[in-house]
Amino acid sequence: MKKHMIGFCRFTSGLALSLLLVGCAREVSHTESSSVSSDGTVKSKEKTVTQAPDGTVTKTEESKTSTATKP
């Protein structure tokens, strides 16, 4: 019975350690910029660079354009 308990404890501690080491993506940089043109159109850009635990780098760029509505 003790051998089974020791084996179970080793298994659960190994599983917990592997989950802790995996982690999640780390944000390396994040920039936002916006500009307004003469006709009232607002253009905004957002750039995000993240790094995964395995070292891969992902770049995400999002652009939005909105116009002002006149009442």
Task: Report residue 29's pLDDT band, with 50, 70 and 90 as the boundaries.
Answer: very high
CB–CB of 51/31 below 8 Å? no
Residue with tokens 């995000």: 48
Q: Number of C-alpha atoms within 13 angstroms, CB side, residue 54?
A: 2
Tell me, what's the pLDDT at 52? Answer: 86
pLDDT of residue 68: 67
pLDDT band for 20, please (50, 70, 90 cuts): low
Q: What is the largest CA-CA distance in the chain?
A: 79
pTM for the full model?
0.54
**Residue length, the chain?**
71
Q: Is pLDDT at 1 greater than 80 in this prediction?
A: no
Residues 6+ away with beta carbon under 8 Å from 41: 65, 66, 67, 68
Q: What is the mean pLDDT of residues 37-51?
A: 90
pLDDT given at position 71: 56
Please answer whether residues 65 and 40 qualify as being in contact, where contact means their C-beta atoms are separated by less than 8 angstroms: no
